[in-house]
Chains A and B, each alone.
Chain A
Amino acid sequence: MSLATAVVIGLLYGLGTYLVMQRALTRIVIGLALLAHGANLLLLAAGGRAGEAPIVEEGATAAYADPLPQALALTAIVITFGVTAFLLALAYRSWILGGSDEVEDDVEDRRIAQLGHGQRQ
């Protein structure tokens, strides 16, 4: 793995992690997309050095690139793409219903917050 690939993967994971921890849904979606890119690059990097296109020909002896991680990355890209699209649709639905882009508190948190609020008064 070259240093550049390693740095890019690290950056993608770092930025993705940062964005996933935000409260706005769009940022989370973008963060997940970045994480997905990072993971796919890592898959590619796991295949080792780049080489010839892995098409077997008679008498060819050149070092082939490992095709398996590429196939895996392709599958992973399709899956994360589909789920991200679904997530965007869900975020849009949430915006239509609630008018906000924020992740809402879960029911329990809200109830506990109310309890605490009641006690203070």
Chain B
Amino acid sequence: MKLLLPLPVVLPLLGSALSLAFHRRVRIQRWIGVVVLVGTLVAGVTLLLMIQESGSASTQIGGWPVPLGITLVADLFATIMLAVSTAMVLVVLVYAIGSPTTADEATFFHPVYLMLAAGVSASFLTGDLFNLFVAFEVMLTASYVLITLGGRAEQVRSGMTYVVISLLASLLFITAIAMVYASTGTVNLAELATVMPEIHPGLRQAIGALLLVVFGIKAAIFPLFFWLPDSYPTAPTPVTAIFAGLLTKVGVYAIIRTQTLLFPSDGPSTLLLSIAGATMLVGVLGAIAQDDVKRILSFHIISQIGYMVFGLALFTVAGIAAAIFYIVHHIVVKTTLFLVGGLIEAETGTGALRRLGGLSHTAPLMAIFFLVAGLSLAGLPPFSGFVAKLALVQEGLALDRPLVVGVSLLVSLLTLFSMTKIWAGVFWGSPDEEPPGARIRATSRRTMLISTGALVTLSLLIAVAAGPIYELSTQAAVSLFDPGHYVATVGSR
């Protein structure tokens, strides 16, 4: 266990270095990427199975005693996120290798991509507020490079916004860490969990609010979401897909982790519930106004984040379990949708709805993929989104919060509307304007279709295995509700 725990971080880091050494040999880089990520996935899934069997685990890198060393903690929530995210990183890499227009051939795509994977894993596993900052920076710096890969004018324009906003959030994060250290004398999450309740309530609230803003910017919750729909669509498809699937969810993970561990609340938080409702509504309304596949999907990321915050805001085991299930479902489905969006662009050369049409005849497989993922996103039975939303709505009603439940149902309906809009625009009818035409080789098309198909299958599996996965989420939520458990895990080396 002690050796297994750092592996999901160490493997991609080593792979990244190795990949950099072969920076002129794309073929070798591809193999390094795939092998390393398969290894990481195996490590992640093994960790998940072991944790589920024997409870949380922790290790100290370098062997220093608890508050000094670099603490890695794996509890069930962290490992669920780790396993799902690594699977996404792997599938999207395969897609990127097949993808014709990217960036896979750019010299530094592979090293930077693996660095991103390392940063994401580290964010999930770290047990220390400052190392969370470092992991975020590793992930974000890699994402800065990926989002501007190619250096086209629009990428530089939107990348600029992205970098400035993220850097600002990082500086706020440092400020928050300084405040935490000044008031408690530690940055170790487990120690903080024991010390936090003792400090002045006003100070605690200020720190809590500051951290919420910091992670809220990363997670793109209302009203801190403006950067997202502007910057994501300009990047190459595989990059957008992995950002959509993972980066904002790392923010949500950090929100859930800090709010449950450091600032536990007795009952539903009205502040978070209002944020959740506004995030859902604004995101979906933004999506309805768009007429480009990737931009529509980008706005939906925001509205979906609202559902996860909704689950957290209820502050009950069932609510947080629903949020965790929702995150798992969302990561898979959202990534799939972006990959299908990329397939559409590769097939026709555009993502603008008015220039698309009739793809259900020429590319039926794509239509099926989109249908499954789109209906799942909207939350129609029997797909995974239905289970996730049902759990949220049930818990919301049980706690007597009809307003936010109503908003979430309305947003589901609007999501369905906007998916129908893509469906009608892309797969039915005929284009209003001639599309620019395909730019895709048969072999690369096959690779892209296979990787997208794998994700669609995975999302169907989530729906089929909804029972066990929901049980796992509940188990994770129970341990999140017991900060003492986390503290004991770190304490018992």
Contact = CB atoms under 8 A, between A and B. Distances in A.
A98 B163 contact: no
Interface in B271-329: none
21 contacts: A32-B171, A39-B171, A39-B175, A40-B174, A42-B175, A43-B181, A45-B178, A46-B181, A68-B181, A69-B178, A72-B187, A76-B174, A79-B137, A79-B141, A82-B141, A84-B167, A86-B144, A86-B145, A86-B163, A97-B156, A106-B158
Interface of A: 20, 25, 28, 32, 35-36, 39-40, 42-43, 45-47, 68-69, 72, 75-76, 79-80, 82-84, 86-87, 90-91, 93-94, 97-98, 103-104, 106-108
Contacts of A32: 164, 167-168, 171
B161 interface: yes
B163 A87 contact: yes
B24 to A, nearest CB: 22
Contacts of A68: 181, 187
Contacts of B145: 86
A111 B181 CA distance: 46
A36 B178 CA distance: 12
A28 B167 CA distance: 11
A80 B230 contact: no
A67 B182 CA distance: 13
B402 interface: no
B174 A87 contact: no
Contacts of A46: 178-179, 181-182
B167 A80 contact: yes
Interface string B134-147: 10010001001100
A62 B151 CA distance: 55
Interface in B171-228: 171, 174-175, 177-179, 181-182, 187
A83 B166 CA distance: 10
B163 A35 contact: no
A32 B160 CA distance: 13
Contacts of B156: 90, 93-94, 97
A43 B170 CA distance: 13
Contacts, number: 94
Contacts of A69: 178, 181
Q: How large is the interface on B (under 10, 10 to 19, 20 to 34, 35 or more residues)?
A: 20 to 34
Given A45-B178, A91-B160, A94-B156, A107 B148 contact: no
A28 B171 CA distance: 14
A106 to B, nearest CB: 4
Contacts of A83: 137, 141, 144, 163, 167, 170
A103 B157 CA distance: 8
Contacts of A76: 133, 174
Max chain A C-beta neighbours (<10 A), residue from B157, B164, B178, B187 = B178
Contacts of A47: 181
Top 4 closest pairs, chain A to chain B, by CB:
A46-B182, A39-B174, A42-B178, A46-B178
A43 B177 contact: yes
B182 A94 contact: no
B398 interface: no
B163 A90 contact: yes
B394 to A, nearest CB: 36
A107 B182 CA distance: 42
A27 B135 CA distance: 28
Contacts of B238: none
Given A36-B171, A87-B163, A90-B159, A108 B153 contact: no
B181 A86 contact: no
Nearest to B161: A106
Given A86-B144, A90-B163, A35 B171 contact: yes
A47 B186 CA distance: 10
Contacts of B178: 39, 42-43, 45-46, 69
Contacts of B181: 43, 46-47, 68-69, 72
B354 to A, nearest CB: 15
Nearest to B160: A90
B167 A104 contact: no
A106 B164 CA distance: 14
B297 to A, nearest CB: 15
B171 A80 contact: yes
Contacts of B179: 42, 46
B160 A94 contact: yes
Given A97-B153, A98-B153, A35 B168 contact: yes
B350 to A, nearest CB: 16
B148 to A, nearest CB: 7
B148 A90 contact: yes
